[in-house]
Amino acid sequence: MEKSTDLIKIKGIGPGRIKHFARLGLFSLQDLASFLPRSYLDYSRPVKICDAEDGETAAIRALFIGPVKTFRAKSGLTVTNVSIGDETGNITAAWFNQPYISRSVPSEAGGYALGTVDRRNGARLLRASFSKELPGIIPVYPLTSGLTQSVVRNAVRAALDICLDSVSETLPEQIRAEYGLIPLKTAMETVHFPKNAQELAAARRRLAFEDAAVLTIVLEKLRQNKKAQKGISFNTSGILDDFLKLLPFEPTSAQYSVMNEIALDMASPQPMSRLIQGDVGSGKTALALYAMFIAAKNGAQSVLMAPTEILAEQHYIQLKRFFGERAAILKGHMSAPVKRQVLKGIADGSIIAVTGTHALIEGKVEFKRLGLVITDEQHRFGVRQRAEIGKKAESPDTIIMSATPIPRTLSLILYGDLDVSLVKGMPPGRKPVTTRLVPGEKRIAMYRYIENKIKSERIQCYVVCPMIEENDDLERVRSAETLFEELKSNLSVRVALVHGRLKSAEKDAVMEAFRTGETDILVSTTVIEVGVDVPNACVMVIESAERFGLAQLHQLRGRVGRGDKQSECYLLTESRSKSSVSRLKTLTETSDGFEIAEKDLEARGPGELIGMRQHGISEFGAAALASDIETLKQARDCARKLLAMPPEKSERLIEKAMRKYERSLEDIVIN
């Protein structure tokens, strides 16, 4: 039987819809039952109009409903309005290009109006619908073309009705009692159709707990396997003194600490597997150079893989200082003779240290004695790509570097098979970036100020937008394309545009022009989050800042402040939400990336912080829904207890763990 035929059992799903579900990776009843909502609409309690916050999903008691009015706006949109009132005031329900919606507006008061509150131009309720009763908490699922929320909800409900009885409990009763966990079967149903917020929290916690425990079990098994491997034992004696003579600055205490960890790892007969985390500009590259220096002193080759050619070029400049003619760069855009020469040097060992992009993992790249593999900004490479370069040697030492601050407790769960180093603090002389929150009504004055600053001080500016092109559903959000045209037309400075849809060569050309000062303002999406080092770029503007996480905003802010001039970051927002404004103010109060990451974790939970698929482990699923780090920590402790228990008590969960990750073990190892 093909795995997709299972869905035929559900009424209303035929061959056509099966194809739509397949695009979401849903082929069976079990897949549907495990297909977690991406969010929820909470209509479990009424919200008074006077208390409804901007951007909030609200159910408003419709004690008054006025006449329906439809008109054409100057923009060409057809707008349908109706006034709704409760005991605290009135709000206008508004629909755009939906004149037919007037037929669904109740003719009499009573019941509830449901929608999203928008207070930018008066009090409005967007995309409103009406219900006689409070609908409760409604799941919202990821969709694809051909499927609607109601179709997916009905399919999930049917799948649960059919297969829920066959679900087996995986956690021993004593473990559930110790950690206060509800049964698995109850959690699976409740996470889709909760009766209240308390039930939903308990269901999410149970599923998050189990997924984190499962992941920990696999990582513990992998760690044990690594300890059994034999790697290269490098001689590290006296090498630090030689390295410091070539380093043009005195390392920070944090750098010295991590250098010591690297030296101990590389001297060990087991292969090193270390994650180095630190803010942009904290000095991670110097640590990579130290590890490469140790390898070279022992006659072993090392490779530093970068996500972009521009970043690889920057690394190459550093490598030449330490390794001279024995350093090389390998990238896609090289002449054939030069590329052949580099490949020959790598193969015969005359090149001892090499940096580059994806070109390093091509089959024709052969190393004579590869002892160390370093990946910079590890999440920018596919896990398979990182695995490929590791295959070019027998158990090489590995270092993964990331400038995305993740709280240490979360790092220990996500990277359970790696040793984690934190590089806190900044090298001497680096000035903190002055960060200000700018309301929408001051955006024109802000851009005029930046224009004058560019002209008078000859500095450059980044402007980051959350999306490439306009989206009708996001009225307040300016796209990169729209803002580029606006600034180009209204400012008398040189403006350029870069985004992820440009071809690699086009992106590199735009970034190179900005690096060399041929462009004054670079309008961009988050593609500049990792990239070129431009000391003259002293201003960062982030449009619709409320649409980014704090950790990502901090990462973007790190693109400026790299020279000796005072740098500035402007967080532009039109949101009136108190919670959004309060969250953004965190960036104006601290420049510590790990402190910011902790606050991001508190505000949004680990799911939004790490991204459900960011680490190459798509099955992490429910663990990404955990609302508190404590749940994940408890799950990690629980997994270790289970591994120490007699097999009959833990075998069900361990078997589930190994079965769940059997196809992605290699991905987890390299992560």
DSSP annotation string for 201-229: HHHHHHHHHHHHHHHHHHHHHHHHHHHHS
Q: Which stretch of 116-120, 153-157, 450-454, 603-607 has the lowest confidence by average pLDDT?
A: 603-607
Question: Which positions ≥6 away from 341 have C-beta within 8 Å?
Answer: none
Q: Which one-letter amino acid corresponds to residue 333?
A: H
Element containing residue 445 per DSSP (H, E):
helix 443-457
Question: Is pLDDT of 614 > 50?
Answer: no
Q: What is the mean pLDDT of residues 328-334?
A: 87
Clarify whether residues 249 and 308 are in a common domain: yes
Q: Dig out the tokens for 201 from the structure.
A: 């929290």
Supply the CATH number for residue 1's domain.
1.10.150
No. of helices (H) and no. of strands (E), the chain: 22, 22
pLDDT at residue number 619: 41
Q: What is the mean pLDDT of residues 530-536?
A: 74
Q: Is residue 487 very low, low, confident or very high in pLDDT (cuts 50, 70, 90)?
A: very high
Supply the CATH number for residue 85's domain.
2.40.50.140
> Is residue 650 one of the residues assigned to a domain?
no
The whole-angstrom separation of Cα 79 and Cα 617 is: 44
Q: Is residue 602 very low, low, confident or very high in pLDDT (cuts 50, 70, 90)?
A: low
Question: Is pLDDT of 572 > 90?
Answer: yes
What is the chain's mean pLDDT, rounded? 84
125 forms beta bridges with 93, 117
Q: Is residue 643 very low, low, confident or very high in pLDDT (cuts 50, 70, 90)?
A: confident
Clarify whether residues 253 and 370 are in a common domain: yes
Q: Which stretch of 31-40, 252-261, 648-657 has the lowest confidence by average pLDDT?
A: 648-657
Q: What is the mean pLDDT of residues 548-555?
A: 84
> Is residue 419 one of the residues assigned to a domain?
no
Question: Is pLDDT of 174 > 70?
Answer: yes
The whole-angstrom separation of Cα 304 and Cα 302 is: 7
pLDDT at residue number 428: 66
pLDDT at residue number 671: 44
Q: In the listed set 402, 419, 454, which residue is the last one of a domain according to the structure?
A: 402
Write the DSSP symbol of residue 334.
-
Q: Please give the tally of structural domains in the chain.
A: 4
Clarify whether residues 160 and 26 are in a common domain: yes
Question: Is pLDDT of 302 > 90?
Answer: yes
Question: Is pLDDT of 382 > 60?
Answer: no
The whole-angstrom separation of Cα 557 and Cα 281 is: 11
Dihedral angle sign, alpha carbons of residues 153, 154, 157, 163 = negative
pLDDT at residue number 661: 67
Q: Which stretch of 39-53, 99-113, 508-522, 631-645 has the lowest confidence by average pLDDT?
A: 631-645
At residue 309's C-alpha, the angle toward residues 537 and 324, to 5°, is: 95
pLDDT at residue number 497: 94
pLDDT at residue number 648: 73
The whole-angstrom separation of Cα 256 and Cα 423 is: 10
pLDDT at residue number 47: 94
Question: Which positions ≥6 away from 414 have C-beta within 8 Å?
Answer: 406, 610, 615, 671
Clarify whether residues 260 and 392 are in a common domain: yes
pLDDT at residue number 244: 94
> Is residue 670 one of the residues assigned to a domain?
no
> Is residue 421 one of the residues assigned to a domain?
no
Clarify whether residues 26 and 127 are in a common domain: no
Q: In the listed set 525, 559, 590, which residue is the last one of a domain according to the structure?
A: 590
Q: Is residue 346 very low, low, confident or very high in pLDDT (cuts 50, 70, 90)?
A: very high
Q: Is residue 473 very low, low, confident or very high in pLDDT (cuts 50, 70, 90)?
A: low
Q: What is the mean pLDDT of residues 165-180?
A: 89
> Is residue 247 one of the residues assigned to a domain?
yes
Q: Which stretch of 29-43, 309-323, 546-560, 614-628 has the lowest confidence by average pLDDT?
A: 614-628
Question: Is pLDDT of 201 > 70?
Answer: yes
> Is residue 631 one of the residues assigned to a domain?
no
> Is residue 338 one of the residues assigned to a domain?
yes
pLDDT at residue number 606: 53
Q: What is the mean pLDDT of residues 299-305?
A: 94
Question: Which positions ≥6 away from 231 have C-beta within 8 Å?
Answer: 268, 269, 270, 271, 272, 395, 396, 397
Domain extent for 551: 434-590
Q: Is residue 3 very low, low, confident or very high in pLDDT (cuts 50, 70, 90)?
A: very low
At 384-421, the pLDDT tens digits run 555 666 667 778 898 988 877 676 666 666 666 678 88
Give the CA count within 13 Å in the CB-facing half-sphere of 155.
30
Is the pLDDT higher at 453 or at 651? 453
pTM as predicted: 0.67
Distance between the two ends of the chain, CA-based, in angstroms?
A: 35
Supply the CATH number for residue 256's domain.
3.40.50.300
3-state SS class at 546: helix
Is the pLDDT higher at 525 or at 381? 525
Q: Dig out the tokens for 402 from the structure.
A: 């990331």
Clarify whether residues 396 and 259 are in a common domain: yes
pLDDT at residue number 80: 92
Q: Is residue 617 very low, low, confident or very high in pLDDT (cuts 50, 70, 90)?
A: very low
Q: Are strands 370-376 and 301-305 parallel, antiparallel or unpaired?
A: parallel
Give the CA count within 13 Å in the CB-facing half-sphere of 416.
23
Is the pLDDT higher at 598 or at 46? 46
Clarify whether residues 14 and 52 are in a common domain: no
Clarify whether residues 24 and 91 are in a common domain: no
Q: Bin 249: left if φ > 0, else alpha if -120 < ψ < 50, else beta.
A: beta
Question: Which positions ≥6 away from 558 have C-beta within 8 Å?
Answer: 279, 280, 281, 403, 593
Is the pLDDT higher at 456 or at 76? 456
Q: Is residue 582 very low, low, confident or very high in pLDDT (cuts 50, 70, 90)?
A: confident
3-state SS class at 460: strand
Clarify whether residues 28 and 50 are in a common domain: no
Write the DSSP symbol of residue 380.
G
Query: What percentage of the chain exceeds 90 in pLDDT?
Result: 43
Q: What is the mean pLDDT of residues 551-557?
A: 85
Clarify whether residues 450 and 364 are in a common domain: no
In terms of average pLDDT, the best of 105-109, 258-262, 424-428, 581-585 is 258-262
Query: What percentage of the chain exceeds 70 in pLDDT?
Result: 86
> Is residue 68 one of the residues assigned to a domain?
yes
Cα→Cα distances 316→320, 393, 427, Å: 6, 22, 21
Give the CA count within 13 Å in the CB-facing half-sphere of 317.
6
pLDDT at residue number 316: 94
Question: Is pLDDT of 571 > 70?
Answer: yes
Q: Are strands 370-376 and 136-140 parallel, antiparallel or unpaired?
A: unpaired
Clarify whether residues 456 and 494 are in a common domain: yes
pLDDT at residue number 400: 86
Question: Which positions ≥6 away from 571 have C-beta within 8 Å?
Answer: 435, 436, 437, 438, 542, 545, 553, 584, 587, 588
At 210, phi and psi to the nearest 5?
Answer: -65, -45
In terms of average pLDDT, the best of 362-366, 437-441, 524-528 is 437-441
Q: At what angle do helices 647-661 and 629-644 cross, to 10 degrees?
A: 120
Clarify whether residues 391 and 246 are in a common domain: yes
Q: In the listed set 538, 569, 590, which residue is the last one of a domain according to the structure?
A: 590
